[in-house]
Amino acid sequence: MARLNVETYHTPVMLRECIEHLAVTQGRVFVDGTLGGGGHTSAMLEQISGDARIFAFDADEKAIEHCQIRFEDELLRGDASRLILVHDNFDTMASHISERGLHLNGVLLDLGVSSFQFDHHHRGFSFRHMAPLDMRFMPEGETAADILNIRTDQELAQIFRDYADETQAWRLAKAIVQRRHLAPFATTADLRDIVIQQIPPQHQPKTMARLFQALRIAVNRELQRLEDTLTSIIPLLAPGGRIVVMSYHSGEDRIVKNIFRSNGPTLTTITKKAVEASPHEVRDNPRARSARLRVAERRA
C-alpha cells in the first residue's frame, strides 16, 4: 500500500497540552479513544517506554486504514509493537481493556471530527460536498436521511436546539417536514436547499454547519456514547491514571464537567476550568477555536 500524506487528517489540537496532561512517560497502558489521523497517537509513541502499550480506537475504517500505513513500521513488530489499532467505537474501550485484565495510566478523547471526514468522505458529513445524507461512523443504525424523513417536527427541532444551539430550529424543522411530503431527503443538497430557502444568505453557512453537526451527533448518539464511555472507563484507571477529554460542543463539555464532578470521591479534577487553545494556535488552526480541554486523575 502507498503511504498516505499525514496532512490528509487535521492538525491535532492542543497537542502539547494533551501529551503533558497524559504524563505518558510515567505509565504503561494508554488509550487514544479517537485515533483519526494518528496525530496524538504519534506524539504518545514518541514519549512512551519500550514496554508500554497504546490502544487506539476508531469507528471509521478509513482512519484505521490510514494509520495502518502511517504506523506500518511499528505494527510490523508484531507482539513487540507498542501500538494496537482497534476498529471500534470508543464506547467499547472498557470491554476491550477489561477483558485483557489491564488498568489504564492514561486515556485521551479528542471528540473533534477530522478534516478527512469533512473534506474527503462520502457519507455527507459536510454541506460543502454533494453526497448521500448518511453521517454514520460505522455502517449500522439510522442515517441522517432516516432522521429527516421519519422524525416529527418537534423531534427535529429538539435535535437542532440541543445539539447545535440553533435559534431557528422550529422554523427549519417545519420546513423539513413540509418538504419531505414532496420527496424524501436523500442528499446533502436536499438539506442545503432548505437552509437556502429559509435563512438569509449571510447566515446560511453557519446555519448549515450547525444543522449538519446536530444530525451527525444524533445519528452517532455521540453524547450518550460519551457519557457511557466516561462512566465505564473511570473504574479502569490505575491510581494516578489520567483521563483527558477535548470537546468542541457545549453539550459535550457539560457532560465531561458533570461526570468529573460527580466522581469526586474517585477523581481529582486537574483543570479547574476548561483549557482553551492559545490565540497563536487558533490563528494557525481555526478548528482549535471551539476546543475545550478537561483533565481528571484517579485518586490513590
For residue 10, give the CATH number of its domain.
Answer: 3.40.50.150
Residue type, 141: G
10 Å Cβ neighbour count for 163?
Answer: 23
pLDDT below 70 — which residues of the chain? 1-10, 114-121
Give the per-residue pLDDT at 118.
62
Q: List alpha helices for the chain, DSSP H.
A: 15-22, 39-47, 61-70, 72-75, 93-98, 115-119, 144-150, 153-164, 169-180, 188-198, 204-219, 222-233, 250-262, 279-284
Closest CA to 190 of 209, 172, 206, 176: 176
Contact yes or no for 19/47 (Cβ under 8 A) = yes
> Do 67 and 101 have their domain in common?
yes
> Do 203 and 238 have their domain in common?
no
In a domain, 267, yes or no: yes
Of 177, 194, 219, the residue at which a domain comes to its end is 219
In a domain, 294, yes or no: yes
Q: What is the dihedral of CA 58, 110, 207, 158, to 10 degrees?
A: 80
- Interior CA angle at 214 toward 212 and 220, to 5°? 100
> Do 209 and 175 have their domain in common?
yes
Give the per-residue pLDDT at 145.
98
Query: What is the number of residues in the chain?
Result: 300
In a domain, 121, yes or no: no
Give the per-residue pLDDT at 291.
96
> Do 12 and 92 have their domain in common?
yes
Q: Which long-range contacts (CB under 8 A, 24 or more apart) does 273-282 make?
A: 275/14, 275/17, 277/13, 277/14, 281/13, 281/14
> Do 10 and 111 have their domain in common?
yes
What is the domain-level CATH number for residue 143?
1.10.150.170
Contacts of 39 (CB under 8 A, 6+ apart): 6, 9, 10, 11, 12, 15
In a domain, 108, yes or no: yes
Q: List alpha helices for 52-203, DSSP H.
A: 61-70, 72-75, 93-98, 115-119, 144-150, 153-164, 169-180, 188-198
> What is the count of structural domains for the chain?
2
Q: Name the residue range of residue 272's domain.
A: 6-116+222-298
Of 219, 247, 268, the residue at which a domain comes to its end is 219
> Do 186 and 243 have their domain in common?
no
> Do 13 and 99 have their domain in common?
yes
Give the per-residue pLDDT at 115.
62
In a domain, 125, yes or no: no
Contact yes or no for 240/105 (Cβ under 8 A) = yes
Q: Which three cell numbers stand for residue 84?
A: 494496537
Contact yes or no for 194/176 (Cβ under 8 A) = yes
> Do 227 and 204 have their domain in common?
no
In a domain, 56, yes or no: yes
In a domain, 175, yes or no: yes
Quote the CA–CA distance of 14 and 284 in Å, as a whole number: 12
3-state helix, strand, coil in the chain (%, to 5): 50, 15, 35
Of 193, 219, 245, the residue at which a domain comes to its end is 219
Give the per-residue pLDDT at 61.
87
In a domain, 169, yes or no: yes
